[in-house]
A and B are shown apart, each in its own frame.
Chain A
Amino acid sequence: MNPAVHGVGTSHFGRRPGTDLVSLAWDAVSDALADAGGGPVDAVWVGTVFAPAGVAQRVLRAMGITGIPVVTVENACASGTTAFAEACEAVRTGRYGRVLALGIEQMSAAFDGAITPERTDPEGATGLALPALYAMAATRYLHDGAVTREQLAAVAVKNHAHALHNPQAQYAGRYTVEEVLASRMIADPLTLLQCCPTSDGAAAAVVAASSGGVREVGVRGIALRSGAPWGRRSPHVWGHDVVRDTAADAYAAAGLHAATDVDVAEVHDAFTIGEIVTTEALGLAAPGEGGKAAGTGVTTLGGTHPVNPSGGLLSRGHPLGATGLAQVAEIVRQLRGDAGGRQVDGARIGLVETMGGGVSALDGNACVVAVLEAP
């Protein structure tokens, strides 16, 4: 059976340390179920990274979703998209008829500031905070002449401006390249406005077989991979190859001839360099051209390949486990023509990409790429 997204929902994203997880989840799930026309679900996949043990059952019982299979998955920043991929696969194979995928995260309850590096990981124990991992990629791109500091900043300018049209975004604003570069240095060369914020939020999708409904968004292809060993064996920066390879799987599953057939994309921009590397790895930009694409407006709303119309992780916010499903929700709204002031006109093919994780010597813990199609 061909899976389709029948409903999506998202909470507001932001720092909400006093908010109950039940309330966060309800905002997303109630919207998604209502959007899907109500009714029960047969199973639930939940993506989260730092939420307390038992969070899935704790939030679901509060809304009467009990006595069915509930599976919690952790795949770093791709946890929500992993839950979505599993929901799609469960429907495709006929294992379940109607599946809820939920992503939930309350980062403000887990960390005072940036994510604490994992002390059981070699590089985490050596002090490699996540901004530093991306900073290494940015430094290398600058050295190789593959990006300029201004092009890095242009990604932040673009995504913060996109979020002005997204009422659920954590923050938004019209910044200049100069303002982005002048913000506080976090890990050279990445400044504060080039880093995603600490976020709380939830997002959900209801997946069931396609029945040709006018609001159903088809899942043409979806793929999931863990990273291969990364080091000097790859000529690319961290996080490039896993995105390239997962995208190749997803494009093949979707029968997509070229990435440039994609009308709108939501990609993993936890840091500005991440969006640049990812647009190249996905084939939305030629190798070494991702920075130029951001700097010249190619990836801006109204450009030929709009990327992160929601504001992306940088501006919508990045509650890790919820992020993937927030991306799915955005692409579903875009493909239905429901995206308001951030609508990509006539979007027919949408792409979701999430990758993440800081496990040493791996090119990312996980990557998910999905190709969705308008009703």
Chain B
Amino acid sequence: MTVADPRPRIASGPGGSGVVAGVRCQACAEPVAYAWPACPACGGPIAPAEFGPGGVVWSATVVRIPVAGRTPPYALAYVDLDDGPRVLAHVPGGAAPAVGTRVRLRADAPGGDPQVEVAP
């Protein structure tokens, strides 16, 4: 059974980085990581917008239990993209980055997951 991939679409950004191809509300300016038909905050009209590649770790964890299709342990972070939405991303290396760490979205992450690396 095939299901549509619901994850944010990652487009190419500057210098080999990635950006999230989402939308921004034309009424309340809410940034949205997904190509939804209306603003989730106010129902207003949206227009395409790109966010990233830079952002800051809001929080992070390492998942150590078996999850279908995944190999534990793996690190996940909620990242507040600069002037953009909060997105869930994988962090390579198996360690959770500290809250507040500057990170950068990758363009070509394996498996199609949003992925960030600690900013150089």
Contact = CB atoms under 8 A, between A and B. Distances in A.
B40 A125 contact: no
A136 B78 contact: yes
B14 interface: no
Interface residues of B, number: 40
Given A113-B65, A122-B7, A232-B85, A127 B60 contact: no
Interface stretch (A37-45, A84-92, A137-145, A300-308): A137-145
B64 to A, nearest CB: 5
B59 A137 contact: yes
B67 A117 contact: yes
A361 interface: yes
A119 interface: yes
Interface stretch (A9-17, A182-190, A318-326): A182-190
A241 to B, nearest CB: 13
A127 B64 contact: no
Contacts of B59: 136-137, 139-140, 143, 237
A114 to B, nearest CB: 6
B74 to A, nearest CB: 7
Given A139-B59, A140-B58, A361-B33, A125 B64 contact: no
A236 to B, nearest CB: 12
Contacts of B5: 125
Given A128-B88, A135-B61, A229-B40, A121 B6 contact: yes
B50 interface: no
A139 B113 contact: no
Given A117-B67, A122-B88, A127 B80 contact: no
A116 interface: yes
Given A122-B34, A127-B74, A127-B90, A232 B61 contact: no
Interface string B50-87: 00000000111111111111100010101010000110
A249 to B, nearest CB: 20
Interface of B: 3-8, 30, 32-34, 40-41, 58-70, 74, 76, 78, 80, 85-86, 88-90, 96, 98-100, 113-114
Interface of A: 113-114, 116-117, 119-129, 131-132, 135-137, 139-140, 143, 184-189, 228-229, 231-233, 237, 360-362
Given A123-B88, A137-B59, A229-B40, 16 more contacts: A114-B66, A119-B3, A119-B6, A124-B6, A126-B90, A127-B90, A128-B76, A135-B61, A139-B99, A140-B58, A140-B59, A232-B85, A233-B41, A360-B6, A361-B85, A362-B40
